[in-house]
Structure 1
Amino acid sequence: MPKTSTEERAWIAEAIRRVDADANRSADTHMHVVPIPVPGIDLYLKDESVHPTGSLKHRLARSLFMYALCNGWIGEKSTVIEASSGSTAVSEAYFARLIDLPFVAVMPASTSTEKIALIEFYGGRCHLVDDPGTVYDEARRLATECGGHYMDQFTYAERATDWRGHNNIAESIFEQLSAEPHPCPSWIVVGAGTGGTSATIGRFVRYRRFDTRVAVADPENSAFYAGWESDRSDVTTDTPSRIEGIGRMRIEPSFVGGVIDDMVQVPDAASVAAMRWISAILGRTVGPSTGTNVWASLQLIGQMRDAGEEGSVVTLLCDGGERYSHTYYDDTWLAEHELDITPYADALAEFEKTGVLPTP
């Protein structure tokens, strides 16, 4: 391997400074209290949509760029390429522009037009494929073809973030809860796209010896739940997830099942109904993966209530709903995709009245 020149070292040092400065400029994300009619149990939403690129993936993209820079994988003439369902690509396009590198996102053709527009806004180029299962190979091919670097979030998400602390999302959650009635949450609920967030939080709570349990909310057509249940990493599905950003057709390398205490399967229609329900409560729209998180959280709250437990449940507001105005917020689109949210919306209305979420 050739030696790194003085000029290359200087470029890497400046690139790291710019990425690090982004973290310094960013205040921590907000924690919202969600009013629920269940005495003794509190529900919180950590609002990751307030990051500069509007989603939880801003944290991941920053970590991936820092990891790649410190490993010497990207340099002054690199083209950065990523396989993504949208939000990670938006955030990576932002960081690529920050350090003056070209960026290409390999994404399913079904990705929302709003996300594509955001990637292009940050100077990225979108390479769309019809088969979502081919995004990995296509990203590798493009990287080889142009001599660029395939960032590969699905492999490196669980290791690029310092899970012991350094203001990661887990440490932030516990600091923000320190003055709440139940400062050590009973559950933290997250979705899984790469598996990086659940790995970071799961490792952190074990490292700090907290009693908190970690649950992963998984949508339909995702391999994660079946793989976790059977303790296998070779599980695959034939159909891509309809909930953008979470659920995968294979068990991703960054998914660490051993740090997860439970998984909750969430019907896609329930995700959309919960997305609209929590949007009405907050007074602004959220994305569908937030709906998946909320529905799973309410399921766990029901289990706590039935067991006579008190405590708190924390989940994530992953991104804003403005990215999905032509999809999950469009009733015609829902009908075309055979998503009937009425039974789940009715169940949520009943929960608001009684604190009990009936089974649709």
Structure 2
Amino acid sequence: MTTPSPALRGWLDEALRRIEADVNRSADTHLLRLPIPSVPGVTLYLKDESTHPTGSLKHRLARSLFLYALCNGWVREGTTVIEASSGSTAVSEAYFAQLLDLPFVAVMPRGTSPAKIAQIEFYGGRCHMVERAADVCAEAQRLAEACNGHFMDQFTYAERATDWRGNNNITQSIFEQMAQEPHPIPDWIVCGAGTGGTSATMGRYVRYRRLPTRVCVADPEHSAFFEGFRDGNPQATVPRGSGIEGIGRPTVEPSFQPGVIDRMIRVPDVASIAAVWVLRDRLGRACGGSTGTNLVGAIDLIADMRRRGRQGSIATLICDPGDRYRGTYFNRDWLSAAGMDIGPWMERIDGFFRTGAWTGDGLATAER
């Protein structure tokens, strides 16, 4: 076995110190309470991951992936780091690559929002575009081999790199922040799936802590995760990429762990986008499309609790800020060109907040 040289270990020690110092400079994200006047017995909480330094939930993942790669000896001084990402993970990884003075390349589908591309470039990263979302991983691997770099591969390593037992993972943080709330143990935690790492962390944590909380994944249309979960088929595929950036995949990724998920809800893209328009009015600021997917999933669960006369709480995530989507989800010309009429879904979602009326029409549900 080759012993690492003092110079190599010295660089690694400094890299880990820089990441730890960055963590120490950062505070935890807020847990917001969103009132639902029509359902006074159920409280909805939003874990605001948009306040991380890089503006999204993926900041936690990027930090974990870098620590994992560094401690495994995959990333060394001068290593070019390459990631396959639709945007937010790449933004966060570009941040950490810059922190460690490492070159970074993001392989992403053409059509990724310009705001995300600009952020990656702001942190010194380079964007490499492909035509089809299904090709990002293969192209990232090819580039890594060509330059003797490291393909970070969030889709494989997300569930391995995150410490699901604790160490301030997102689920532990939610439970600590809810400790003094009227219903401190949520009935459900709702999240989307891009890699599957967040849902794996949540599902494992509640089982490890022997908590009754159940985990629901809200999945956009044009994603293979729902079919894979419903049919028990890890080889499930869909023919096109997701219309909601950051979540949904055309294949079932290795980090997706269906055995720790209790329910999945498939949400139409038009409903996800309508939901963030409604949320902007009720929260006072804009959030990204994946937050809308989460919100629709949470509403469906709250409506079920209301029908059963159950009181309690549900927690979900604000994944990233809406300013990244001014030219798309919050642009009526873009919506019109995409053939999306969000009006009926906006009325339906806002109507739930006002009256509690809700049906599952347009949604698909699968449960273990």
Which TM-score band applies after superposition, normalised by the shorter structure?
over 0.9
Structure 1 residue 7 and structure 2 residue 7: aligned?
Answer: yes
Matching residue of 1:31: 31
Which amino acid in 2 is paired with 1:82? Answer: E
Q: Aligned residue for 1:123?
A: 124
Q: Aligned to 2:291, what secondary structure does the other structure show?
A: helix
Looking at structure 2, the residues matched to 348 and 220 of structure 1 have their Cα atoms a distance apart, in angstroms, of 18
CA distance in 1, matches of 2:82, 2:92: 12
- Counterpart of 2:205 in 1: which secondary structure? helix
1:17 counterpart residue number: 17
SS in structure 1 at match of 2:63 = helix
- State the shift of 1:28 in Å: 0.7
User: Residue by residue, what CA displacement relative to the aligned partner does 1:92-143 show, whole Å, maximum 9, x if unpaired?
Assistant: 0000000000000000011000000000000000001111111011000000
Any residues of structure 2 matched to 1:273-292 within 5 Å, and which?
Answer: 273-292=274-293
Looking at structure 2, the residues matched to 40 and 164 of structure 1 have their Cα atoms a distance apart, in angstroms, of 31
Amino acid at match of 2:147: C
Specify the SS of the correspondent of 2:327. Answer: coil
Alignment partner of 1:172 is 2:173: yes
Structure 1 residue aligned with 2:213: 212
Distance in 2, Cα, partners of 1:186 & 1:161 = 23
3-state DSSP class of the match of 1:210? coil
Partner of 2:81: 80
SS at match of 1:349: helix
The superposition leaves residues 306-360 of structure 1 with CA deviations (integer Å, 9 ceiling, x where unpaired) of 1111100000000000100000001111111121111101102321221222447
> Separation in 2 of the partners of 1:211 and 1:9?
44
- SS class of match (2:317): strand
Distance 2:212 2:2 in 1: 48
Aligned counterpart, 1:257: 258
Q: What SS does the aligned partner of 2:73 have?
A: coil
Mapped to 2, the partners of 1:289 and 1:153 lie a distance apart of 18
In the other structure, the counterpart of 1:104 is: 105
CA distance in 2, matches of 1:275, 1:357: 17
Secondary structure of 1:315's counterpart equals strand
Alignment partner of 1:46: what SS? strand
Match of 1:191 in 2: 192
Q: Which residue of 1 aligns with 2:365?
A: none
Q: Which amino acid aligns with 1:18?
A: R
For residues 116 and 7 of structure 1, the distance between their equivalents in structure 2, rounded to whole angstroms, comes to 35
Query: Structure 2: how far apart are the matches of 1:159 and 1:22?
Result: 22
Q: How many residues align?
A: 360
User: What are the Cα deviations for residues 53-94 of structure 1, in whole angstroms up to 9, with x where unaligned?
Assistant: 000000000000000000000000200000000000000000
Using the aligned pairs only, state the percent identity.
62
Instruction: Tell me which residue corresponds to 1:338.
Output: 339
What is the aligned partner in structure 1 of residue 48 from structure 2? Answer: 47
Q: Which amino acid aligns with 2:137?
A: Y
CA distance in 2, matches of 1:49, 1:39: 27
Q: How far is the alpha carbon of 1:26 from its aligned partner?
A: 1.1
Name the residue aligned to 2:267. Answer: 266
Instruction: Provide the rounded CA distance (Å) in 2 between the counterparts of 1:338 and 1:220.
Output: 15
Equivalents in 1 of 2:99, 2:358: separation in Å? Answer: 45
Counterpart secondary structure, 2:76: coil
Q: Which residues of structure 2 form unaligned runs of 5+?
A: 363-368
- AA at the equivalent of 2:341: D
Residues in 2 aligned to 1:71 and 1:349: alpha-carbon distance in whole angstroms: 48
SS at match of 1:218: strand
Question: What TM-score do you get using the length of structure 2 for normalisation?
Answer: 0.96
Deviation at 1:2, TM superposition (A): 4.8
User: Structure 2 CA distance, aligned partners of 1:338 and 1:103?
Assistant: 36
Question: How many angstroms does 1:21 deviate by?
Answer: 1.5
- Partner secondary structure for residue 178 of structure 1: coil
Give the aligned residue type for 1:322. Answer: D
Q: Which amino acid aligns with 2:32?
A: H
| In structure 2, C-alpha distance between the alignment counterparts of 1:352 and 1:174, rounded to whole Å | 25
Letter in 2 for 1:254: S
Cα distance between partner residues in 2 of 1:64 and 1:180: 32
Stretches of 4+ moved more than 6 A in 1? Answer: none
RMSD: 0.9
SS of 1:106 mapped into structure 2 = strand
Letter in 1 for 2:279: I
Correspondence 1:158 to 2:194: no
